[in-house]
Amino acid sequence: MAGSAHREFLDPSVLGRLKAIPLCARQPMLGNVSGRHRSPVRGSSLEFSEYRKYVPGDDKRRLDWRAYGRSDRYYVREFEADTNLRLCLVVDTSGSMGFAGNGELPKLDYARRLAAALAYLAVGQGDAVALYSAGASLRREIPAKRNPSHLRKVLDEIGGLRAEGETGLVPCLHAVAEKVRQRALVVVISDLFVRPEPLGGALQHLRFRKHDVTVFQLLDPMEIHFDCQRTTRFVDMEGNTTIIADPDVVRREYQRALAAHLEAIDALVRDSHVDYHRVVTDQAYDRVLSDFLLRRRPKGVRG
């Protein structure tokens, strides 16, 4: 896209490699124009779906005369209709997303790269993109559209995201489930520092609305390894409270609590049938995206 090269979170070489892999939905979509994704409604594409009995008013050109010859009954051939996709990006912009340890990329900057690349790829293949900024509430909402000028608007908004305040991810996801009425691919990018039980309810709400839900959980290496070596002042990035502690004293309890939290996240995404990806921010984001795209590609489909 013209003008995209100056955006530091969009790498043209990465986009060039990724656009060879289609962004696919795992389930039928309901779009408003023809596209590459399966629809739950029947149409006249080339992919055969099933037979059904003829009823008055059906198009007689779709009668299968061979089936009539075998059964002496009239049957109509039905085919899968192809449609376009709605990609709804939900980016967590709470204060904890601003964390970066030992020179790593802040989690929000990593999220920016994932979201921008997915938006670019979706519009490039004729799909619509929406963006929701999830802070204490939905700070910004850009409804789904599919034209290049809309993509510029989405990228401008992604570039302006700021990590601040408390998390309201769970109510934001419930709000998105209510606002996005037609089936969509909902991609949530967050560190998931929320209570697992309410989060599971929010993901179930999205799945109840028949959305194809993907979650990228972003964690900094320091959050995982907790490799502080001396007495440290810890700051709550969402509430601004502080505590001074010896890492050797709190490390074991911290790692126990983190392991329990991640185990609970694993359980809830399994129960919710969510496409879940745990990402450490020292991983190359293009590799993360290529693995995501390849895993979703139907068998026999090439880029």
Tell me what pLDDT residue 299 has: 65
Q: What is the CA radius of gyration of the chain?
A: 23
- What pLDDT was estimated at residue 58? 73
How far is the first Cα of the chain from the last one, in angstroms, to the nearest whole number?
20
Q: What is the pLDDT of residue 253?
A: 93
Q: Domains in the chain and their CATH numbers?
A: 12-21+88-295 (3.40.50.410), 37-83 (no CATH)
Its pTM stands at 0.80
**Residue 187 has which token pair?**
């991609």
User: Which residue ranges in the chain fall short of pLDDT 50?
Assistant: 1-5, 31-47, 80-83, 303
Find the angle CA(214)-CA(217)-CA(223) to the nearest 5 degrees.
Answer: 175
* 182-206 CB burial, b ≥16 within 10 A, e <16: ebbbbbbbbbbbbebeebbebbbbb
Q: Which two tokens stand for residue 303?
A: 């880029």
Q: What is the pLDDT of residue 300?
A: 52
Residue 17 confidence (pLDDT): 94
- Provide, rounded to the nearest whole percent, the portion of the chain with pLDDT above 90: 61
* Residue 278 pLDDT: 98
- Give the Cα separation of 201 and 205 in Å (integer): 6
